[in-house]
Amino acid sequence: MAILLDLQHVTFEGSDRTLLRDLSFTISDGDRIGVVGINGAGKSTLLKILAGALEPDGGVIRRGRGVTVGFLEQIPVLPDGTVREALGSGWEVDAALDRLGMLAAVDTQISALSGGQLKRVALARVFAQPDDVLILDEPTNHLDLGAIEWLEQQIKNFKGAIVLVSHDRFLLDQVTTRMLEIDRGHTYLHAGGYSKLLETQAEREEQAANAESVRKNLARRELAWLRRGVKARSTKPQARIDAAERLLSTKKEAAAREGSLDLATDMPRLGNTVIKAHNVHYAYDGGRDIIRDVTLELGPGDRVGIVGPNGAGKSTFVGLLAQQREPTKGTMKHGPTVVLAYFDQQGDTFDDNKTVQELVAGPRGVPGNPADVALMKRFWFTGALPKSKARELSGGERRRLQLLLALAVRPNVLILDEPTNDLDLETIRLIEDFLAEWPGTLIVVSHDRAFLSQTTDRLLEVNIDGTLGDVAGGIDAWIARSAGVIDSPMDSKEASTSSDTAPKGRLLREAEKEINRLERQVTKMADKVMHTEDFVEAGKLNKELKTLRASLQEAEERWLALSEL
């Protein structure tokens, strides 16, 4: 196995902290290395160093003789000209563009491409070049499921080595052979994929907690022994007493972020009517219908995922649901109690010249008031970040700010359009945890299979012809089909008719929604019971858990009764 890149004692200093400290590892052909860490930890910095676009402050990087490195940046830069001129010709290039939904744009100027189109063209370009090592920074951003499946195959078939940063846990678990974790300047290399990383992280946290407990207990015992001694007041033992007391007063290393993403779940109560769409059509400037003949009703507590190929009209559709667009034909109505927040895909809906605290305060608020400071802290905007201008924020920080501003209005209906783009895995998992408890109506556009599975219980597909239908078998079947475990479903319009028009289908869907909600609550409550050390509190939590399990059993019995009708 040939060594392609060799890093020895690499160090890089950020503006306010060390990002990489004494990092040493080798990259050989066949390696598939996933890089993870919170936003700002140094993931993109490491990729730039590997690609030769950035020099480290210390250490050395050696390349094998003749080794070439291809680099897909998070915000790619391509040469001027058309897509064809940037990529060249050949069936491999055309096949890649076709799977990435860009074949029709081969004569388009690079300067005219959107951010998502630019990323897809850059991805096709990096795989078309004969490099030995590929460095990929968030390659799944702006890709639909078909394109992600193509990317998985390209990574698996590539003969050299690949290093990638990605928030797509499904992809990481499918393709990686090693995981590199960056945490407060320290780096940890794990054998295996994403699942193995989680196991190792849990073991490390447990070992750290045990070591801290042992250290404190040893210090307490020595302190008690010293204080009992006859010579406790003499100089030498007193020095040992002082040292033991200092040991007891020290704290373990601070977390990479203060606290958890503790988001309030209080919101205005929803009525029975949330969103009703009847025979909705939408076309741009009199052109063909992007959305066609859509009739849909969403109620309180519905949790709906929206999928479909790039260009099918998913963002257009949720823009209609949010009433940011008017239907060309048909009606779109909101219930009288709806307070809607829309987390759009672009993330550029705020003034880049304003500071974070000015944006949070809004036009009528006072920047930096205590309530806003507490809210910003919950989203990890601490230190110098509240006074930073929006234009100075990283991609992940901008998305986190966007989510903060969306939830600050206390919505009871939340629309998230590709919410996981540019967010680190820790933030994504914490948002999933929040949404599991959040009682409002949720609509999510995403191709992140893990995120959809965790947050939604109904899946709708926007087809390329503009129609909308339920995905047969729901999220689990959609994931199984994407992995090639089961065959393709029946026609989505047929599936929609069978589940939406028949009373039994609607009742079954409502029962499934209730079961999913209760299962999430049972899981959360069981976790609280496992981790509480307060005996009285554990008793109360156990009673709540027993009640929830009884409710879940009743809901499952209702579902069984309905299914047998």
CA 434 – CA 416 distance, rounded (Å): 14
Q: Which residues contact 236 (CB under 8 A, 6 or more apart)?
A: none
Length of the chain as a residue count: 565
Cα separation, 193 vs 205, in Å, equals 19
CA distance 359 to 365: 9
All residues at 6 or more sequence positions from 205 whose CB lies less than 8 Å from its CB, including other chains = none
Short-list 490, 425, 478, 484, CA closest to 452: 478
Whole-number Cα distances in Å, 5 to 124, 134, 233, 348: 24, 11, 60, 38
Which three-class secondary structure string do you get for 440-483?
CEEEEECCCHHHHHHHCCEEEEECCCCCEEECCCHHHHHHHHHC
| Both tokens assigned to 426 | 């820790």
User: What's the whole-model pTM score?
Assistant: 0.72
Contacts of 508 (CB under 8 A, 6+ apart): 499, 559, 562, 563
Instruction: Report the pLDDT value the prediction gives residue 499, as an integer from 0 to 100.
Output: 40
Instruction: Spell out a b/e string for 320-331, using b for 16 or more CB atoms within 10 Å of the CB, else e.
Output: bbbeebebbebe
Specify whether the CB–CB gap between 140 and 151 falls below 8 A: yes
Q: pLDDT tens per residue, the chain (565 residues)?
A: 789 999 999 999 987 788 999 999 999 999 999 999 887 788 999 999 999 999 999 999 999 999 999 999 988 889 899 999 989 888 888 888 888 888 888 999 999 887 778 888 999 999 988 899 999 999 998 888 888 888 999 999 999 999 999 988 889 988 999 999 998 888 888 888 888 888 877 777 776 666 667 666 666 666 665 566 544 445 555 665 566 666 556 555 555 555 555 555 567 788 888 999 999 999 988 788 899 999 999 999 899 999 988 888 999 999 999 999 999 999 999 999 999 999 887 656 788 899 999 998 888 788 888 878 887 887 788 888 899 998 888 777 888 888 888 887 789 999 999 888 878 888 888 788 778 778 889 999 998 888 988 888 889 999 989 999 988 777 777 777 665 555 554 444 444 433 444 456 667 667 777 787 788 778 778 877 877 777 778 788 888 888 888 888 888 878 777 776 6
Return the DSSP state at 491.
P
Q: Residue 465 has which token pair?
A: 């012809």
Tokens found for residue 549 = 């399990």
Tokens at residue 181, please? 């974790």
